[in-house]
Amino acid sequence: MNENNLIYSVKTVDQINEYDIKQNYLIKNENDFWSSLSSLKSNNEQRQLNISFSPNNSFFLQKTSHQYFNIHRLPGQSILKIVGKDVLNKFVPCIKRAHGSGSIFPLTSADQYLFSTDYHHEVLEQQNLSIGCLDHGQIFVDPLLLDKNQIRYHKIIQHSNEFVVLSSGTLAQYFTEDSSWSESINFALPSWIQNGHAYNSRSLCQCQISDESYLSRSIDLNLFPRVLVQKYINSSENSINSATSILLI
């Protein structure tokens, strides 16, 4: 990762020379983190993101009573249930691992600007920065740049056993103060279609950055006829009126 005018670029390399890569700092607070990044340029250094992903895995038990919250069921309880199992089965949890202090998750948004929920399993905090063509996961932005250009953003400190739900189209990045486990999954609410977010396709981006995996996951919007969307809304309203408490395990 390199720094350029408060924007840090992320790139994939075939081989890492550990003598050229700055090891992660011991991060005690937000000031420590940004100070560690600002030293990259002055010292002509790079550092690893120190993260990994495990798609289609979850720490939540899949077969539990409907009395308990289950992250696996979230897509199927959203408006995505309309599209059928062949498409719905593509929406699975993803475990995200921060391997140490100062681990970095670059700026990105959910596929096809869907809603997303992120659950933090570990005890230590992670700081989320959300901004509402930067969603390729190849940059990390210093908030000073956003402040200078009067770009509104929200800063969230996520604690253990807390959910952060990102609205459709939200760009988010975060760092951790120590090693941690979290997991996320995408879903959709009617506003994803009604407010036009579903039609903002990353495939129209002019950045010329290849993302074939994204194209394979995109959803055909013809699968959401208006009558079925309205039926889902009516059904959801009835469920809310007669809902019982859901427990988290």
Measured CA angle at 118 (ends 247, 225), to 5 deg: 90
Measured in residues, the chain has a length of 249
CA dist., res. 193 & res. 221, Å (int): 9
**Both tokens assigned to 246:** 């859901």
Q: What 3-state DSSP class applies to 235?
A: helix
Q: Where does the chain have alpha helices with state H? A: 30-42, 74-77, 85-88, 143-148, 190-194, 212-217, 226-241
Q: For CA atoms 112, 174, 125, 21, give the dihedral sign.
A: positive
pLDDT at residue 212 in the model: 47
Backbone angles phi, psi at 71, to 5 degrees: -65, -25
238, 190, 188, 196: which is closest to 217 by C-alpha?
A: 188
CA dist., res. 178 & res. 65, Å (int): 33
CA dist., res. 141 & res. 107, Å (int): 7
Which domains are present in the chain? Answer: 48-241 (2.60.120.650)
Sheet holding 180-187, edge to edge: 51-55, 94-98, 180-187, 115-120, 162-166
pLDDT at residue 116 in the model: 94
Asked whether 193 and 221 are in contact (CB, 8 A), the reply is: yes
pLDDT tens for the 249 residues of the chain, in order: 555 578 888 877 665 555 445 555 677 788 888 888 888 767 777 788 889 999 999 988 776 677 777 888 999 999 999 998 888 999 999 999 998 888 899 998 888 899 999 998 865 556 666 555 566 678 888 999 889 989 889 999 998 889 999 999 888 999 988 888 999 999 999 999 988 888 865 555 555 555 544 444 678 889 999 999 999 998 887 776 665 555 554
**Both tokens assigned to 209:** 């950055």
Asked whether 155 and 131 are in contact (CB, 8 A), the reply is: no
Number of helices and strands (H, E) in the chain? 7, 14
Q: What 3-state DSSP class applies to 189?
A: coil
Model's pTM, two decimal places?
A: 0.78
DSSP one-letter string for 133-188: --TBS-EEE-HHHHHHTT--EEEEEEPTTEEEEEPTT-EEEEEESS-EEEEEEEE-
Q: What 3-state DSSP class applies to 30?
A: helix
Q: What is the pLDDT of residues 99-110, one digit of tens each?
A: 888 889 999 888
Which residues, listed in sequence order, are joined to residue 104 by a DSSP beta bridge? 175
pLDDT at residue 219 in the model: 87
Task: Characterise 205 by phi-psi region: left (phi > 0), alpha (psi -120 to 50), beta (else).
Answer: beta
